[in-house]
Amino acid sequence: MRNIPLTLVATLALWSFALNATAAAYCPPSLEDALEDVPPGGTLLLPRGHVFQPLIADPIEPHFFLSYRSYRKDGETVNTGVIGAGETFPLWRRVGGCSTDGMQLDVNGGGVARFVLDDGRNDLIDGDFTVAVPLSWRQGTWSWRARLYHNSSHLGEDYLYQNQTPPRSKASYESIDFIVGYDQPEWRLYFGPEVILRHYPSFEPWGLHVGAEYYGDRTLFGGLGRWIGGLDVKSWGEYGYAPDYSLKAGLSLGGSRRQQQHLQLLLELYTGHQNRGVFYDDKVQSIGAGVYFGF
């Protein structure tokens, strides 16, 4: 079983490169006008935009957002406020045959804090912090992203005071994930494996990641906004590869191009293991709504 993920990584990488070799003539128009006009083969320091678009529904993807979420676990409901601050910062890009093609090195990171909102309380449940170095590549309709990242989580002091014997007070890990994406003007499919290099407490290292996204082509409010949505599915060997589902959908305001500054009003649904935070192994269901900011 341990050889299966390694074989999958190699297969996906070779498949992606082979397919990209036949796609060089296609420059997606919905992305083409969002990046700098640079001659093929040129390089840019601190470029604008991304060759691999940030994922909409992945809970680990860094975003700036405010969200209200109602969690249900073991028959009990907890209402929470969630605040996130994070972004992907492009460092370097080598441009390919189209301005959207090429290789790009980024750094990204962020933090997420969850607060209890029941009974007039605002106790900090936990804080979750991520820092990553993604390397991405695109040619035509195909793209991939390889990312090394660190994640650490710590219980809030108020929560520790209220619960004197929590199962743990912190959790942390380092991981490498690899995602292949197939892009069209209105949608994207993506898939790939992930391997955890170190996890405290111990955790089965192999995981799989798939998803689909929709970017509405029809603009609303005179071109100000459009409908978007994403379904993100992860499965881990630790849980027998049982899937965890994250769904986010709603209205994106700020223009028709993906790379423009935007404000997103999203409904959020989640079912599965939390996979982040100190209580990463809790199985929960949640429903909520959030405001997301893109720069």
pTM: 0.86
Q: Give the list of residues 6+ apart from residue 1 with CB closer than 8 angstroms, or none.
A: 237
Domain boundaries, the chain: 3-294
Q: What is the pLDDT of residues 34-56, one digit of tens each?
A: 456 567 778 989 988 888 989 99
In percent, the amount of the chain with pLDDT more than 90 equals: 55
Q: Is the per-residue pLDDT at 23 higher than 70? A: no
Q: What is the pLDDT of residues 189-201, one digit of tens each?
A: 999 999 999 998 8
If one compares 120 and 46, the residue with the highest pLDDT of the two is 46
Neighbours of 56 (CB within 10 A): 27
Section 13-26 average pLDDT? 48
Q: What angle do CA 83, 62, 192 make, to 5 degrees?
A: 135
Contact 88, 105 (CB under 8 A): no
pLDDT at 290: 98
Neighbours of 15 (CB within 10 A): 12
Tell me how far apart the alpha carbons of residues 277 and 149 are, in angstroms, rounded to a whole number.
15
Residue 93 binned pLDDT confidence (cut-offs 50, 70, 90): very high
In terms of CATH, what superfamily is 3-294? Phospholipase A1 (2.40.230.10)
pLDDT at 240: 94
pLDDT at 25: 44
Q: What is the pLDDT of residues 213-270, one digit of tens each?
A: 999 877 787 778 889 999 999 999 999 999 999 999 999 998 556 666 789 999 999 9
pLDDT at 120: 76
Q: Assign 37 to helix, strand or coil.
A: coil
Q: Is the per-residue pLDDT at 30 higher than 50? A: no
Q: What angle do CA 288, 217, 140 make, to 5 degrees?
A: 105
Contact 158, 144 (CB under 8 A): no
